[in-house]
Amino acid sequence: MLRSNRSDPPCLNIDGLVKDFGPLPSLEGKMVRVLDGVALQAYRGQVTALLGANGAGKTTTIECAQGLLSRDGGTVSLLGEDPARATSSLRARVGVMLQDGGLPPAARPLALLRHIAGMYSRPADIDALVARLGIGSFAGTPVRRLSGGQKQRLAMAAALAGDPEVLFLDEPSAGLDPQSRAIVFDLVRELRDEGLGIVLTTHLLDDAQRLADYVYIVDAGRTVTHGTVPDLINATRPTESGRVLTFEAVPGLDVASIVPGHLSAVETRPGSYTVTGPLAAADLAVLAQAWDAAGVMPTALQLSPRSLEDVFLEVSGKELP
């Protein structure tokens, strides 16, 4: 199957999803509404990312989609069925990687994968999966002795053991060293190209920017905006310009007084400066003259269009960690 055809029926369709937790002692016995009308569609052959800060409701959303949590309102359709009443046939078509792994500490990776594969009538080729995810070097080591990256790769293999059509990944890059991250990300793209519908959550803009074909930004229990990464970045609001200049130099420059009046400038960290506004070539000349007059030479200089981070800040008013 080829990529990104959003006119096909979605493999996951969530509408008006509501979830209440509680009553909670920390809220004087009151209920708290953690999801308040989440809507999203995920398609085969695409990576769909739920992007949001911790506590935004990403994990709760996909746990309702997996049938691990019951919902208090709205509809969820996973491969045309309601996951709240999942049958073993539906579960056989869906692979799940939980945020905490869910692997028994005493188990040995290869034996565990073979055990899980036994639950399916046509499981994945476990030897190929072990080779692909580099599990061979720790195939006999108890789970409790594995590094974070090794555990995460094993959890990914466990999610794929049944050769699923839909794959859920909850914070897939959590705890990953750069090498594990490259292996996992390559495999996600390859599976996407083979036609799997992949739904992941992440609080990292970089993950979303590098992996996702389609992004839903989740904030305070709602999906606040969605689109492809380029769509989201290019959807410039009429009142704002799409350019950002960042530079690094000695700390403590009075940057607000040296930029032209139609731009705004702040020192975000000591020695890091951000200039925003309708930047023109002439503004760069003004800045360069001011640096020259102050005897300052920037050590780094970058001019960029809006980032996904700007979009995120704009829609949620919050910063990601």
**What is the smallest separation between the CB atom of 205 and another protein, expressed in angstroms?**
27
Q: Give the shortest CB-121-to-another protein separation in angstroms.
A: 5
CB of 25 to another protein, least distance (A): 16
- In the complex, least distance from residue 172 CB atom to another protein, rounded to whole angstroms: 15
Cis geometry, peptide bond prior to residue 105 (ω within 30 degrees of 0): no
Q: What is the closest distance, in whole angstroms, from the C-beta atom of residue 146 to another protein in the complex?
A: 13
Q: Which is nearer to another protein, 142 or 230 (CB)?
A: 142
C-alpha angle 46/96/156, rounded to 5°?
Answer: 85
Tallying the residues shown for the chain, one arrives at 321
User: Residue 85: exposed, middle, or buried by beta-carbon count in 10 A (0-12, 13-18, 19+)?
Assistant: exposed
Which residues partner with 75 through β-bridges?
A: 15
Contact 170, 62 (CB under 8 A): yes
Residue closer to another protein by CB (options 170, 207) is 170
On the CB side of 224, how many CA atoms lie within 13 Å of its CA? 20
**Where do contacts with another protein occur on this chain (CB under 8 A)?**
66-68, 86, 88-89, 91-94, 96, 98, 100-106, 115-116, 118-123, 158, 162-165
Nearer to another protein, 154 or 263 (CB): 154
Q: Return d(Cα 173, Cα 184) in angstroms, integer.
A: 8
How far is Cα of residue 83 from the mean position of the Cα atoms in its chain? 22
CB 158 within 8 A of CB 94: no
Give min distance, CB of 110 to another protein, in A: 14
Question: Of the two residues 86 and 205, which places its CB atom closer to another protein in the complex?
Answer: 86
- What single-letter DSSP state applies at residue 299? S
Q: Give 68 or 296: the residue with its C-beta nearer to another protein.
A: 68
Residue 61's H or E segment, with its range, is: helix 58-66
The answer to whether 40 and 205 have CB atoms below 8 angstroms apart is: no
For residue 93, the minimal CB distance to another protein (Å) is: 5
Asked if residues 221 and 230 have their Cβ atoms less than 8 Å apart, the reply is no
Q: How far is the CB of 169 from another protein (least distance, A)?
A: 13
| Distance, CA of 268 to CA of 272 (rounded, Å) | 6
Cβ-based nearer residue to another protein, 102 or 305: 102
User: Which residues 6+ apart lie within 8 Å of 127 measured at CB?
Assistant: none
Q: Which is nearer to another protein, 102 or 148 (CB)?
A: 102
d(CA 50, CA 35): 13
Min CB(5)–another protein separation in Å: 20
Maximum Cα–Cα distance across the chain? 74
Q: Which is nearer to another protein, 33 or 114 (CB)?
A: 114
Nearer to another protein, 150 or 209 (CB): 150
